[in-house]
Structure 1
Amino acid sequence: MSQKPSTRKNAKSSSFTLFAKIIKFILITFIITAMVGGIYVTKIILTIAKEAPEVDVNKFLALSQPSIILDDQGNQMDILHSDEVRFPLKLEEMGDNIKNAFISIEDERFYKHEGVDYKRTIGVTLRDILGQFTGNRDMQGGSTLTQQIIKNTFLTREQKYERKIQEIYMALQAEELLTKDQILATYLNSVYLGGSANGVEAAARQYFNKSAKDLSVIEAAYIAGTTQSPSNYYAFSQSSMANPSKYINRTKLVLNAMLKNGKITELDHAAYMNQLDTEGIAFTRTKIVSDKYNFEYFTRPTIDQVRNDLKEKLGYTDEEINDLISYGGLVIHSTMDRDAQEYTIGVLNDFANIKAEYMHTSKDPAGNEIDTRTEAQAAFSAVDYRTGQVKVLVGGRNIDEPSTSNRAYYSPTFANSVLRQIGSTTKPLTVYGPALDTGAITLGTPAKDMQIDPKEDRPIASLYNTLNRKWPNNVNFRYTGFTTIRQAIVGSYNTVSARTLYTISGNQFEISKNYGKKFGLVLPENPVASNLALGSNVNDNKDGGNPLILATAYGAFGNSGVVTESILYTKVTDSSGNVILENIPKSEQVLRPQTAYLVYDVLKDIVAKNVPRARLTSMPLAGKTGTATNENNLPTDIWFAGVSPYYSASMWIGSDQRKPLLVPGSNNTVISFITQVAYGKIMAYLQEGLPVTNVTRPSGLITASFCKESGGIPNEQCYVAGTVASDLFVSGTQPTTICDVHTYEAPVIDPTAPTEPGNNGNGNGNGNGNGGN
């Protein structure tokens, strides 16, 4: 009897065999792919590793290369300490507490690995791969102490796999060349720990006014905890003082790590935790930076610009910037003219060039208030307005202390910035420049030098919210009636400035504010009339201007209406000479070339008629004086801003307390012309040896006559009345209609009228009665 074939069983067997073959094929393919991929990846890794810089033992142990700043001729002017200090110690001089705290929280297997902690590295890599899908990438936290030094000393701070591979490769090399104690000492002497402290000794002095070897466990744990984010855990920041829990919790985390690694007992750990909860951490704040730069007023603003550009252009964090300046050996190529800077400092320090005092209130040894006369402060800045390069920046006179107020510089990130009300130097920037540029006026527009009267000028008074008073006052409380725009600018008539601002079509304040901001003024969001028309401000150091801002703005009048951003450095190179920052200034056409020249031409009259000593050479100079006053109308700030064919520059005289400025030895207040002495000397020095030339006059300008009262083409009676003037106009804006204020009517003669006695009608009278000629 024959058996039936087991079709079902054979089918199952056949299916299993096929499945097994597929699995086998997949496994073999995976193995081959993994081998090929591994070889390929290994090749890539080796290629990247070979491109890594050589581990220079001397550079590794040197902790850092100081960054330096050069003048515009390439000569060193300052070594940058970046407000950070280090006091290197030998490892055995640091004490066990600080070493144990750092190793526990930063690299617990430091004495076991060979430069790389593979467990941590793999964990960080997996976390970063996952982050690529969640959008929260993070390659931080896996570096050993050796890797951190490698990163800070030899590599960039970019979070890329290429940099990480090189970092690992170089760390392995470093551990073959150096001992563990050498590496640990280098790290502890160089790590940035917040405030001004680089290294554990500097940190111990800064936070607790003691040496590192004398730190308690809690104190050492706090310092070690700051490494993750020195600015965030900085105990003396406003946020930390308001919320100490963030650094307290971080300190507890370090103590937990020390317990885990057997550096403290459970009993001690519990006691430390209780102490933190009940007492917190007792700090003794100590200032460890007292050094002053050779060129304080130029160097610190330059560092500020470099820091901002590293953050905005390259994406560096504050901690990375601190490290780069501290370790990176940067070379900053500044724009400073050393000779001119030093000459300006000398001119300003000489009181004979300032001649202004103020009453300063102080206390005698017994605590009684006494008034003493104090020499006024002064500041100056000069710019090559075509390149934007700042050549001179002096923020004060007779100052020996570091980090004082810089009265010539402003930046939101610069702690010692100064902004003041700029008085009438604002008028070309926020009034006459915009009014001419928008076509609201010409230099032939009638100018009414009279106060705005709420009864007669209600619309203007409403705009300025002065319906309850006449406004504004001229400096001498005199008013000339109808005049010219040129004379109003030269005479700095506040009345005409306010009336001219009103003539701008549209939202006058918004248009004026936009022009002012383009010129670089720092204006309040909702300015009022006095901000724009008269140059007042709301709050000192919050809005207004300073010598660098005004020098930058006035450069437009010599540069065809173009404002070029002022720069304090041209480039930054790293320790190997590679350019990491190149500073190319931005430029903006703020005024039409014709408008800029019209203003320039008027401003030349101010120099010639009001401040002739501001021009000590045959080089043309244009400029504007300015005076800001207090609530009692007494002068507190004296300004001059000017422009020549080569430089724009501005000078300020005043006091930090906004006290009235007095004539030396007198109670009389000073006048706005006192800046001309120092200003003239400095500008003459800057332009010494330069060919005498003039600002280029653009095409499209013509000269035409007009009547000062009507603005029309003069007629015969305008000449009789003495109201005819001539000035420059943009072609097409000159007067086109005859004056309608002055008219001439011929006398009507009656032919039948009797002959006057003594007049026979032959023209040979005796002269009685016609002698009016």
Structure 2
Amino acid sequence: MAKGRGRMEPNFDVPEGRVRDRGELDLRLSRDDRAGTGERVGKRAGETTRAPAKTTARRSLKKSGRRRRSWLGRIVYGTVVLGLWAVIGIAGLIAYHASQLPPIDQLAVPKRPPNIAILASDGSLLANRGETGGRVVSIKELPPYLPRAFVAIEDRRFYQHFGVDPVGILRAIGQNLTRRGVAQGGSTLTQQLAKNLFLTPERSASRKIQEAILALWLEHKYSKDEILELYLNRVYFGAGAYGVEAAAQRYFGKPAKEVSLAQAAMLGGLVQAPSRLAPNRNLPAAQARAAQVLAAMQELGFVPAQDAKVALAQPARPANARGGGSANYVADLVMDVLDDYVGKFDTDITVQTTVDTSLQALAEKALTDELNAKGTRFNVGQGALVSMRPDGAIRALIGGRDYAQSQFNRATTAKRQPGSSFKPFVYLAAVEHGATPETVKDDAPIRIGNWAPENYSHRYDGPVTLRTALAHSLNTVAVRLGQEVGPKTVVQTAQRLGITSPLQANGSIALGTSEVTLLEMVGAYGAFANGGTGVIPYVVTSVKSAAGKVLYKRSENGLGRVIDANADGMMNAMMHETFASGTAKKADIPGWELAGKTGTTQDFRDAWFIGYSGTLVTGIWLGNDDGELTKKVTGGTLPAEIWKTYMTQALKGQNPVPLPGLNRWRKPPPETTASVASAAPSAPTDILGQIFGDPATPAPRQQAPSRRAPAKDDRNFVEKLFGIGE
């Protein structure tokens, strides 16, 4: 170092702007300290040039501008990121709920539960049974306005969306908020179908996601018309009706292919709230909803304005099914016996029955009209009726006063004491042991141990023929006959004719103290009407699959001959006298040979009447379900009146048919009655003596007032009122 120049100290002067707060040096590099920034390298080596102050200021402004734009960028960037995460989350949520469903390649529309269509003898529908309540119908069978009604009110963009309709959802939300226009749900028809087919009624976000997934699958798998057809056959319409066919039958009594525009609109409106809008429960609400459907159909151009106007002016109303509600008693009986004819089935089936809809309606009206008119006065709350051909084919069956109020079938299930209507089995046993209609028995007091049965009139007529005793329902004679042939024989005779209920073989069996059903009794009387062949009551003639395959066809069968033809003729002659001069004379129908028997149980608890022509056997029971006593109703009063009302119409227009063997054993003319009755060999007075070879020993004659006593005697008021006794 040269002398005199002194020592050179380092200079740490810091350019302006490089001093940090509190006097500290800022030794960090700036952009100007980096190569190619703050200084520019000259063309010649070692020459540098600092950027002008103006350029530095401009860069500073650009840097400031970039900072301001970064906030907007950050918002956009954040929104994009959040959107992506939302998409990922939704995809994950969908994937999770999709994983809870069966694999797509294994997914299939579940089979619809089979329907049982129960038809009358003429092929008309009596009722549907099964979980659905109606058969499957093709969309091609239906009038065009029927499926369009559902599209108009439930999913107007059905043919545009892909299973889920965002536009429809937004529109529904808007309408719900503003309460304007026709109310619509956010779910598409496809989503509703998916819910009905695969999901539970649970309301949750999870279920809605699965519903949407399944809707997309349905749209991929099926065409729009196929989806609509599936929907129409699966949707619930209330009252146990699933599918449009079941609903049309249930509410209008006709197949879906025959419904009018007004009826179609009502069906379309039902699915929103089946219980609240059912026309048989809330007709004003159902009609108001149907008007909304018609407005929507007109708005969309589905129906001409004039047609919509006519439908609005003539709104639909529910109709009563043919045969009334009582046809359901028949349907219940069919379901009870169906397992005996066909095994397990998984498709719709059709059951052909023997029931005549016109006779069913006549029977229902006769029974209900009588109970409505006189039930309260005589304290009778219930009744049942069975009418069948002599071969056992059931033509009408009423199991109670009102099926809607009580589904208990009193014709087939209720067991009640038949009273005197059981006596024909006692008399048949006697006839089979040698008695005839002119056999004489003593109408006198009788005692069996501590039991002393009495006649209804509390009087005794002394010696009477069996014909007269049965016609006037004399209890003492029936008990004597029962004791002579033996209670066990009486039981066996009744069972041979078709009585299947347990019977007690005791002395009182002659007066009908063992409980039986009305169906059993009418079936047993069928043997008297047909000449002696035992019958098994039946209601089903054939069963076919939906494709027409015969699954069952009834063959001729029965119990074979259970009554000798001669004995049957005698029974018909004796029971014919019931109409001619006995307890059923009020029920006689001029021009017809009729036979039958009345029945009344102790204390007037049950009243029966079973009578028949050569073509029809009909039985009536009246009483109270709880066993409460009636006000002295006998079989010859209200039951006989119902029987005559029904049978007069049922036999109208038919040619009278003679009863088997009646002419041979018809009551002799009055002038020959005494001689016939006194013929000892042909009219023994003691059957047990005849059986065991003992001489006939007439019972001591009981002095008693004549049965045809003066009008001032002490008969009870029922006998005075109707002129008959039981």
Shift of 1:68: 1.7
The root-mean-square deviation of aligned C-alpha atoms, in Å, is: 5.1
Question: d(CA) in 2 for partners of 1:598 and 1:584?
Answer: 31
Alignment-derived partner of residue 391 in structure 1: 395
Pick closer, same or farther for the CA change 1:619–1:96 going to 2, 3 Å: closer
Alignment-derived partner of residue 334 in structure 1: 353
Question: d(CA) in 1 for partners of 2:132 and 2:406?
Answer: 10
Question: d(CA) in 1 for partners of 2:474 and 2:460?
Answer: 8
Question: d(CA) in 2 for partners of 1:587 and 1:565?
Answer: 6
SS of 1:533's equivalent in the other structure is: helix
Match of 2:421 among 422, 425, 431: 425
- Is residue 312 from structure 1 mapped to residue 312 from structure 2 by the alignment? no
Question: d(CA) in 2 for partners of 1:486 and 1:421?
Answer: 24
Question: d(CA) in 1 for partners of 2:190 and 2:504?
Answer: 53
Supply the AA of the counterpart residue of 2:512. G
Pick closer, same or farther for the CA change 1:92–1:695 going to 2, 3 Å: closer
Pick closer, same or farther for the CA change 1:404–1:636 going to 2, 3 Å: same
Question: d(CA) in 2 for partners of 1:428 and 1:89?
Answer: 66
Match of 1:434 among 419, 426, 429: 429
- Would you say the 8 A contact 2:115–2:133 is kept in 1? no
Match of 2:646 among 662, 671, 682: 682
- Would you say the 8 A contact 1:351–1:375 is kept in 2? no
Supply the AA of the counterpart residue of 1:349. T
Question: d(CA) in 2 for partners of 1:344 and 1:445?
Answer: 38
Alignment-derived partner of residue 565 in structure 2: 593
Question: d(CA) in 2 for partners of 1:97 and 1:681?
Answer: 53
- Is residue 476 from structure 1 mapped to residue 457 from structure 2 by the alignment? yes
Supply the AA of the counterpart residue of 2:369. D
Question: d(CA) in 2 for partners of 1:526 and 1:740?
Answer: 29
- Would you say the 8 A contact 1:567–1:585 is kept in 2? no
Shift of 1:377: 2.4
- Would you say the 8 A contact 2:393–2:539 is kept in 1? yes
- Summarize deviations over 1:458-486 as a string: whole Å, max 9, x none: xxx3xxxxx2x352111121122222211
Supply the AA of the counterpart residue of 2:554. N
Pick closer, same or farther for the CA change 1:88–1:683 going to 2, 3 Å: farther
Question: d(CA) in 2 for partners of 1:738 and 1:514?
Answer: 27
Flag structure 2 segments of 5+ consecutive residues without an equivalent. Answer: 1-107, 136-188, 203-212, 244-318, 700-726
Match of 1:349 among 363, 368, 379: 368
- The residue correspondences of 1:366-765 to structure 2 (distance < 5 A) are 375-386=380-391, 388-397=392-401, 399=402, 401=404, 404-408=407-411, 410=412, 417-429=413-425, 431-437=426-432, 439-453=433-447, 461=448, 467=449, 469-504=450-485, 508-524=486-502, 526-530=504-508, 532-537=509-514, 543-546=515-518, 548-584=519-555, 586-588=557-559, 589-610=561-582, 611-629=584-602, 634-662=603-631, 672-697=636-661, 712=680
Question: d(CA) in 2 for partners of 1:654 and 1:98?
Answer: 45
Supply the AA of the counterpart residue of 2:566. Q
Shift of 1:549: 2.4
- Summarize deviations over 1:673-701 as a string: whole Å, max 9, x none: 33222211211111111112312329997
Question: d(CA) in 1 for partners of 2:416 and 2:697?
Answer: 45
- Would you say the 8 A contact 1:440–1:503 is kept in 2? no
Q: For the pair shown, which has the larger CA radius of gyration, 1 or 2?
A: 2
Question: d(CA) in 2 for partners of 1:616 and 1:576?
Answer: 46
Alignment-derived partner of residue 456 in structure 1: none
> Could you tell me the TM-score, scaled by structure 1's length?
0.49
Alignment-derived partner of residue 63 in structure 1: 112
- Summarize deviations over 1:226-268 as a string: whole Å, max 9, x none: xxxxxxxxxxxxxxxxxxxxxxxxxxxxxxxxxxxxxxxxxxx
Match of 1:73 among 122, 131, 134: 122
Question: d(CA) in 2 for partners of 1:314 and 1:451?
Answer: 55
- Would you say the 8 A contact 1:712–1:740 is kept in 2? no
Supply the AA of the counterpart residue of 2:643. Y
Question: d(CA) in 2 for partners of 1:701 and 1:94?
Answer: 68
Shift of 1:336: 1.4
> Could you tell me the TM-score, scaled by structure 2's length?
0.52
- Summarize deviations over 1:59-97 as a string: whole Å, max 9, x none: 977835643222111122323345879999747648999
- Would you say the 8 A contact 1:297–1:406 is kept in 2? no
Question: d(CA) in 2 for partners of 1:95 and 1:726?
Answer: 76
Question: d(CA) in 2 for partners of 1:520 and 1:95?
Answer: 48
Shift of 1:521: 2.7
Shift of 1:525: 5.7
SS of 2:601's equivalent in the other structure is: strand
- Would you say the 8 A contact 1:354–1:674 is kept in 2? no
Matched residue pairs, number? 442
- Would you say the 8 A contact 1:451–1:471 is kept in 2? yes
Pick closer, same or farther for the CA change 1:60–1:627 going to 2, 3 Å: same
Supply the AA of the counterpart residue of 2:528. F
Shift of 1:352: 7.6
Question: d(CA) in 1 for partners of 2:331 and 2:556?
Answer: 17
